[in-house]
C-alpha cells in the first residue's frame, strides 16, 4: 500500500446527526439508495451478498485498507476525495493485472460520534470514482471503530486473456510507464509545508487518477510484466525485477518531469526528479514489453530490462537515496 502523511488533527465532522443517532441500517439505506449499477451487477446491495457476472470464468480480486492519519487526513482532504482515493488505489491494481474493473465492495469503520453527513460524502466519492471506471458498488459493511477506516475489495475481468503478473519480464524488454509520476509526492510536500496550492499538484495527493484502460491495453499489446506504481517508481520496479529475476535500468532523459513539478521543487528546495523516481500514490502503471512492440497510446518508454544481478539502476548507477515507501519502516 501507499500514502504516507504523518497523523494530524482530523475532524469527525461538524453539524448534523451522528452515525450513532442515524443507526447502522439507516446509514446503509442512506448511502445505497438510488446508486446506479452497471450491467454486470446481477444483484446489488440489500441482500446477504451481491451477485456479479464473471464473463471470463475467472475473477481478479484485490483489496486495500485506508486508515485515517496514515493514508489520509481530513484536514487535508474532503470525505469525497478520500472516497475517490479509496476506490482508485484498488482499481489501479486490477488494471495492473491487465483486467477490466467490474465491481467493488466497501467496508467502513468509524467512531460513534462521526457525523452521518461525512459518511454520505465519503460514499459519494466512492460512487463517483466507481462511475468514472464504470464499475458497480455492489455491497459492503459498516462497523464501529476507533478511527475512520475504509476497506475496498475490487473485482475485475480478464476478458479471456492471461493475467499480466510481475514475473514475466525478460532481458531485452523495454520498460514503459503510463500515467503521472511524482505529482502526489509533490502535493504531499506542499501540504506538509502548510500550503494548499498549486491545486493541481495538491489534488494529485488527495486522490489519484489512474489510467484504468491502459492496463488492458498493455495486456493486449503483449506486456510481459506489469505493476501499479503505488510506493514509488524505483521501489515498484524493484518488486517487478525481483519477481522476474532480472535487472532494470531507468533512463532519466526519458522521464516526463512536468514544469509544475519543477516550479514546486524550486519553491520548496526539493528535487522534482526525486519525486518522479520515488514518489508513491500516483498509481501510474509500469510494464515491460518485448523490444519490437509498438507501445499502446499513452505509454512512454523509460528504460531497459537487463540481465540478473544488476538490480534497479538509474542511468546505469545505483540510486543513492530511498527508493520509495514501505510500511513499518
Kindly write down the DSSP assignment for every residue of 4-49, as one continuous string: -PPP-------SS-BHHHH-HHHHHHHHHTT----TTEEE-BTBSS
Question: What single DSSP character describes residue 68?
Answer: B
Q: For the chain, how many residues are written? A: 329
Q: Which residues are annotated as a binding site for ATP?
A: 140-141, 166, 230
Query: With 50 as the cut, is the pLDDT of residue 329 above it?
Result: no
- pLDDT value at residue 32: 67
Nearest-angstrom CA–CA distance, 190 and 195? 6
Find all residues with CB under 8 Å of 267, minimum gap 6, and list them: none
Q: Which residues are annotated as a binding site for substrate?
A: 71, 281, 325
State the pTM of this model: 0.88
Query: With 60 as the cut, is the pLDDT of residue 229 above it?
Result: yes
Nearest-angstrom CA–CA distance, 248 and 236? 11
Q: What is the 3-state secondary structure (H, E, C) of 102-142?
A: EEEEEEEEECCCCEHHHHHHHHHHHHHHHHHCCCEEEEEEE
The answer to whether 126 touches 137, Cβ cutoff 8 Å, is yes
Q: Which residues are annotated as a binding site for Mg(2+)?
A: 48, 62-64, 93, 141, 228, 231
Confidence class for position 17, pLDDT limits 50, 70, 90: confident
- How many beta carbons lie within 10 A of that of residue 151, not counting itself? 18
The answer to whether 152 touches 104, Cβ cutoff 8 Å, is yes
- How many beta carbons lie within 10 A of that of residue 198, not counting itself? 16
* Average predicted confidence (pLDDT) for the chain: 90
pLDDT, tens only, 77-122:
999 999 999 999 999 999 999 999 999 999 999 999 999 999 999 9
Q: Considering all CA atoms of the chain, what is the largest pairwise distance in Å, rounded to the nearest integer?
A: 62
Domains in the chain: ranges and CATH: 19-157 (3.30.1330.10), 174-318 (3.90.650.10)
Paired with 49 in beta bridges are none
Paired with 227 in beta bridges are 286
The answer to whether 39 touches 51, Cβ cutoff 8 Å, is no
Nearest-angstrom CA–CA distance, 203 and 200? 5
Amino acid at each position: 500500500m501507499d500514502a504516507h502523511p504523518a497523523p494530524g488533527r482530523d475532524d469527525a465532522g461538524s453539524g448534523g446527526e451522528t452515525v450513532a443517532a442515524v443507526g447502522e441500517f439507516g446509514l446503509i439505506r442512506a448511502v445505497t439508495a438510488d446508486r446506479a449499477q452497471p450491467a454486470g451487477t446481477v444483484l446489488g446491495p440489500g441482500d446477504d451478498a451481491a451477485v456479479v457476472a464473471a464473463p471470463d470464468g475467472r475473477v481478479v480480486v484485490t483489496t486495500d485498507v485506508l486508515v485515517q492519519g496514515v493514508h489520509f487526513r481530513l484536514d487535508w482532504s474532503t470525505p469525497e476525495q478520500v472516497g475517490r482515493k479509496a476506490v482508485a488505489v484498488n482499481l489501479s491494481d486490477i488494471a495492473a493485472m491487465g483486467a477490466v474493473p467490474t465491481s467493488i465492495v466497501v467496508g467502513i469503520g468509524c467512531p460513534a460520534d462521526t457525523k452521518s453527513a461525512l459518511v454520505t460524502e465519503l460514499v459519494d466519492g466512492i460512487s463517483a470514482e466507481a462511475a468514472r471506471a464504470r464499475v458497480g458498488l455492489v455491497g459492503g459493511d459498516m462497523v464501529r471503530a476507533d478511527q475512520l477506516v475504509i476497506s475496498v475489495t475490487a473485482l475485475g475481468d480478464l476478458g479471456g486473456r492471461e493475467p499480466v503478473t510481475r514475473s514475466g519480464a525478460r532481458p531485452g524488454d523495454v520498460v514503459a510507464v503510463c500515467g503521472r509520476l511524482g505529482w502526489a509526492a509533490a502535493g504531499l510536500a506542499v501540504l506538509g509545508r502548510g500550503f494548499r496550492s498549486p491545486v493541481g499538484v495538491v489534488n494529485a495527493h488527495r486522490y489519484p487518477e489512474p489510467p484504468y484502460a491502459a492496463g488492458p491495453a498493455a495486456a493486449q499489446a503483449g506486456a510481459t510484466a506489469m505493476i501499479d506504481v503505488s510506493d514509488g517508481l524505483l521501489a515498484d520496479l524493484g518488486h517487478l525485477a525481483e519477481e522476474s529475476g532480472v535487472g532494470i535500468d531507468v533512463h532519466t532523459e526519458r522521464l516526463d518531469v512536468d514544469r509544475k513539478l519543477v516550479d514546486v521543487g524550486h519553491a520548496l528546495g526539493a528535487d522534482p526528479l526525486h519525486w518522479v523516481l520515488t514518489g508513491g500514490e500516483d498509481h501510474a502503471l509500469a510494464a515491460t514489453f518485448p523490444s519490437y512492440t509498438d507501445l499502446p497510446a499513452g505509454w512512454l518508454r523509460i528504460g531497459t530490462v537487463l540481465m540478473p544481478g544488476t538490480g534497479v539502476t538509474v542511468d546505469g548507477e545505483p540510486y543513492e537515496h530511498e527508493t520509495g515507501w514501505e510500511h513499518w519502516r
